[in-house]
Chain A
Amino acid sequence: MPHLHDGLLLRSPADVDPAGLWVEDVPAASTSAAAERRRATELSRPALDSRRVLLRYDDGETDLVVVTRREISVSTAAGPVWGLGDGSGPTSRLDAIDETGDETGWLVALLVTLQRYDPESAPVVGTPRGAFSADLTGPVRAVRLVPTDQPAAVGLLFCENRVEGEYLPCLAPPFPLTVSVYHDDRGPRLRLDHSAALVAPEIAEQFARHLRLVHRQVLRRRDAEVADVLLMDDNEVLRVAELGRPAPPPIPTASTIHAAFQRVALSTPDSIAVTDGTDQLSYRALDERSDVVARSLRAHGVRDGDRVGVCLDRSTSFVVTALAILKAGATYVPMDPAHPADRRNYTAEDAGLTLVVTPEIVLPQEESVLGDADGDTAAYIIYTSGSTGRPKGVVVPHRNVIALLDATRDEYELRPGDVWTWFHSSAFDFSVWEIWGCLLTGGRLVVVPHAVSREPDAFRDLLKSERVTVLSQTPSAFAQLLSVDHADLAVRLVVFGGEPLDARILLRWFDRHPETRCRVVNMFGITETTVHVTAQTVTRADALAGSRSVGPALPGWHLYVLDASGRLVPPGVAGEICVGGAGVAAGYFRREELTAQRFLPDPFRPGVLYRSGDLGRLRPDGRLDHLGRIDNQVKIRGFRIELDEIRSVLLEDPRVSAATVVVRRDDPGDAASARIDGYVVLIEPADTREIRERAARILPDHMVPSTITALSELPLTVNGKIDQERLPHPAPAPSVVDSTPTGDELADQLRTIWSTVLGVPVEIDDDFFELGGNSLYAVRIGAAMRAEGLPTVRLRELYRHPTVRGVASAVRGS
């Protein structure tokens, strides 16, 4: 293994302040991963004083590493979450400003700007004198700077004196984003130096602009509430509002689903419309048969605007029935027979169904007139489970479905001759795309029976024998297909939906189906916005980069990203994804209050906006990054945890083909008992401890899963998404945390000292270094022990036994 010199500040021993602290490491093999990690931790701590670290290896060799005092304590953690950087190396930009003002004004302006960029974290700004934070709840004038020892990703270098010539505040930016304010011979200057790897130039540019605007308000609007300080001026707000609307809406080609269907049926009457293995129907036959059923429904008492349940398996009958319900002027409410009876009964009751069509039902064969429907008539109601409360019915009008097809037909060349699968539960709105996407563009719809959808081999055989060309899948279901040989398929378009896509799983697909022959599109969508909202064609480059982009809004749809107060946030900044335009549903069925909460007037255009509850950010080019559910944002011991990021690291392991991560609490009332459990599907037999070790080398400590459990496959819900309820409880973690008092007075006393000094809860077997300990903390612990009248422990004893238990026994031994 390479030794530890990389990236450290090395000096010859002569450079060292003799007062520097000596730290002697315990002998351990240079290749021991644990020792390696411990040393790296020790050496990367920002130090207030120079110190020399003697690293001993068990082969008798030593390395003397000198960690010099760092001028400014720099965050070694990842840079700003809103950075969007993808370049590398330092970059700088320079703006003329009106006045330099004073340092405090700029610190306050920076803190306020930072808080807007990342409301979840307490803002910290570093300076050469140390870092500052502030309570930003009151008016601007009341903001008081508070010193903090939290790491700062953004720093301010303020130069009071006017400097002659061209002033260069820093050669290498000491912070990922370094703001310098000074006055040179050309006037007052605001300079931004940033690492382009962490902060994209566009983002740095807007940050400087926002900072200047905020600074002006800090100086001039001192009585304003901090919460009311504006980040963007009106022009910029309009520009950002326009950014989420990349294409104008297409002109509607029909008013209702059945009218659009009939047009297709007239042009290709003899093509097969739907086939389910036992039965197949041509477009003409489907049209005629649904007419008959529609008349029967009317004769049975179904009237315009009524809701009719369809409790049928995926089949030609389902399609006939749904189309008949639309022709009868009514609204279809799909009820998956695979769902529990309770859920179906709830749906039937809540939707106030006139009738439920089941396989047993016999409808009167009578003549009757068809119903009347227009674009605003509800076409279907699909029930979605929120994270809280009972499922709610989302009412989607005909025109939304027409708009969805108008937005995609040309771009994806959806044509007669295509063969689509109907894979997903009818009660999951991805099926709306599968059924009507196919039937309104003249394709042939191949019903995938439930059993086949659960068997990757059988599903592959079906794709092959039916020569399927358009495949819509949740990423979890697709991952199962990838686990079998999938070379000989005719698929020309894969559409992902329903779940976030980790693009890396696609590399294996592309190897068999190059992008020139099969287009892969990731669509982000929500039931409340009619299946899809955005679309991103995924390439090998995206897959290699693990891109999170879900692309720009579909033509006719538009996006805003809003903060908690409903203000637009700038590109790059995370907020709630809100969707407007042609796909927004009519609301929740008979839930006026909830509808009013989630469906709001669009502040920038006529129409309604749906608040998705999903976290995302717009990129400067108008594409959306989807960052997960807002209510899934998890904090463990104060750290924000990105479950997707952990999953993504697990997936990078060449031995892992699928992965998921959940957070569990042993004690639901105690946040400290929260723990991350990882689940993986292995390509080849492997020790899950090694997989955890690998993840621990990449992830910050607080994001390393406590357990990794190998499963033969990840359990899926009927909708093809990962079913967290059915993930087994993990095997007990290797090191059991003992959180109760130990009964050992000395140990408890030491725990208190450690946790006071380290600022984190300490258990008796916690590793000093993993808790964030370093040589300075060790010295402070020594001082605190002396203050309590305890015998002190030599540093090397602490390093040799870096736990409370170890130190306690060393104290007893001395």
Chain B
Amino acid sequence: MRLTGKVVLVTGAARGLGRAIAVRCAQEGADLVLSDVCADVGGVPYPLGSRSQLDHTAKLCRHEGSAVLVEETDVRSGESVRRMVASAIDRFGQIDVVVNNAGIAAPSGRPVHGITEDEWSLMIDVDLTGAWRVMREVAEGMCERRRGSIINVASTAGLVGYRHFAGYVAAKHGIVGLTKAAALDYAPMKVRVNAVCPGSVRDVPEFEGAMLAEIARALEVPVHEHEKTFVEAQPMNALIEPDDVAAAVVYLASDDAKQVTGSMLTVDGGFSAR
């Protein structure tokens, strides 16, 4: 139990990686604040996490013995984020760990000049600025308490480029930059900021992941073909499991990583090593 007594806030917790991270943190003894947008967002071509899915994640975490607060939060809105953090402080008195996991993979699938102004803004707003908004709300409290761990879920797209995913790649590179800068800002206050960079994560049915399927759809290739391409490109010849990423998050959240800040922990089977 590496997170006993810690309060962990996970955004985008309704399903997929967010659910896997939440459940893993619960298994490690954390109490949780779980949020998701619980609505569809105009411009995103696929359904986003639902309230029912978020409630189900909460149920799985409670089953592990955690106290759980569920919040419907749109990371595009500063007000919405402020409300979530206030409710969390109200309920638990503190936030020890933030996992900025909320993100979208599409609209994508076009070259740079094919992206519209709105699409570009939406992607940056959710995937980059969303994480900044949450950090802005929690940082002060963490600094006061001289402890805290912020984990930004970036991607290998934060380290290398992908064709026809310029918005996503730019946002994830932005997350990497934000992580490094924030790590320096807060290091004196013993607040750590790190990023995990997952490779292609398998859509596990029990976690209801949809990311890989949506990326494949954006590229207009069948999912299994897309999976195959990734597996072949990846030195360890396997897709990443959500649990693999969750384990990395738990490490960064735990006191085992007390000297780790400003780092990019890749969980990509060696993909970005070449």
- Chain A residues within 8 Å of B, Cβ to Cβ: 1-2, 31, 507, 510-516, 539-541, 544, 652, 654, 690
Give B236 Cβ to nearest chain A Cβ, in Å. 10
Query: Which A residue's beta carbon lies closest to that of B49?
Result: A511
Count A/B pairs, Cβ under 8 Å. Answer: 42
Asked, given contacts A1-B231, A540-B55, A544-B206, whether A512 binds B238 with beta carbons under 8 Å apart, the answer is: no
User: Residues of A contacting B50 with CB < 8 Å?
Assistant: 510-512, 514
B42 in contact (CB, < 8 A): no
Query: Which A residue's beta carbon lies closest to that of B239?
Result: A2
In contact, A654 and B208 (Cβ under 8 angstroms): no
For the complex, give the distance between the alpha carbons of A1 and B236 in Å: 11
B47 in contact (CB, < 8 A): yes
User: Residues of B contacting A539 with CB < 8 Å?
Assistant: 56, 59
In contact, A31 and B228 (Cβ under 8 angstroms): yes
In contact, B55 and A2 (Cβ under 8 angstroms): no
Residue with the highest number of chain A CB atoms closer than 10 Å, among B47, B50, B237: B50
Interface residues on B, range: 10 to 19
Asked, given contacts A1-B231, A541-B56, A544-B208, whether A514 binds B51 with beta carbons under 8 Å apart, the answer is: yes
Q: Which of B205, B228, B231, B237 contacts A544 (CB 8 A)?
A: B205
B259 in contact (CB, < 8 A): no
For the complex, give the distance between the alpha carbons of A690 and B206 in Å: 23
Binding site secondary structure of chain B: helix
For the complex, give the distance between the alpha carbons of A237 and B10 in Å: 50
User: Residues of A contacting B11 with CB < 8 Å?
Assistant: none
B101 in contact (CB, < 8 A): no
User: Residues of B contacting A507 with CB < 8 Å?
Assistant: 208
In contact, A2 and B237 (Cβ under 8 angstroms): yes
In contact, A511 and B237 (Cβ under 8 angstroms): no
B223 in contact (CB, < 8 A): yes
In contact, A511 and B231 (Cβ under 8 angstroms): no
Give B168 Cβ to nearest chain A Cβ, in Å. 22
For the complex, give the distance between the alpha carbons of A514 and B36 in Å: 14
In contact, A2 and B47 (Cβ under 8 angstroms): no
Q: A507-B208, A652-B205, A654-B223 are in contact. List 16 more A-B contacts (CB 8 A).
A: A1-B228, A1-B237, A2-B238, A511-B50, A511-B53, A512-B50, A513-B52, A514-B50, A514-B55, A515-B52, A516-B51, A516-B55, A539-B56, A539-B59, A544-B56, A544-B208
- A selection of 18 A-B contacts at a CB cut-off of 8 Å is A1-B228, A2-B231, A2-B237, A31-B228, A507-B208, A511-B53, A512-B50, A513-B52, A514-B50, A514-B52, A515-B52, A540-B52, A540-B59, A544-B56, A544-B206, A544-B208, A652-B205, A654-B213
Query: Which A residue's beta carbon lies closest to that of B59?
Result: A541
Residues B203-234 near A (CB distance < 8 A): 205-206, 208, 213, 222-223, 228, 231
Binary A-proximity of B184-207 (CB < 8 A = 1, otherwise 0): 000000000000000000000110
Give A413 Cβ to nearest chain B Cβ, in Å. 20
User: Residues of B contacting A652 with CB < 8 Å?
Assistant: 205
Give A602 Cβ to nearest chain B Cβ, in Å. 39
Q: Which of A1, A2, A511, A654 contacts B52 (CB 8 A)?
A: A511
Give A104 Cβ to nearest chain B Cβ, in Å. 45
In contact, A515 and B206 (Cβ under 8 angstroms): no
Residues B232-269 near A (CB distance < 8 A): 237-238
User: Residues of B contacting A654 with CB < 8 Å?
Assistant: 213, 223
User: Residues of B contacting A31 with CB < 8 Å?
Assistant: 228
User: Residues of A contacting B237 with CB < 8 Å?
Assistant: 1-2
Asked, given contacts A507-B208, A654-B213, whether A540 binds B228 with beta carbons under 8 Å apart, the answer is: no
User: Residues of B contacting A1 with CB < 8 Å?
Assistant: 228, 231, 237
Query: Which A residue's beta carbon lies closest to that of B55?
Result: A514
Give B203 Cβ to nearest chain A Cβ, in Å. 9
For the complex, give the distance between the alpha carbons of A654 and B203 in Å: 11
Give A691 Cβ to nearest chain B Cβ, in Å. 12
For the complex, give the distance between the alpha carbons of A515 and B70 in Å: 15
Q: Which 6 A-B pairs have the closest CB atoms?
A: A511-B50, A510-B52, A514-B52, A514-B51, A540-B56, A540-B52
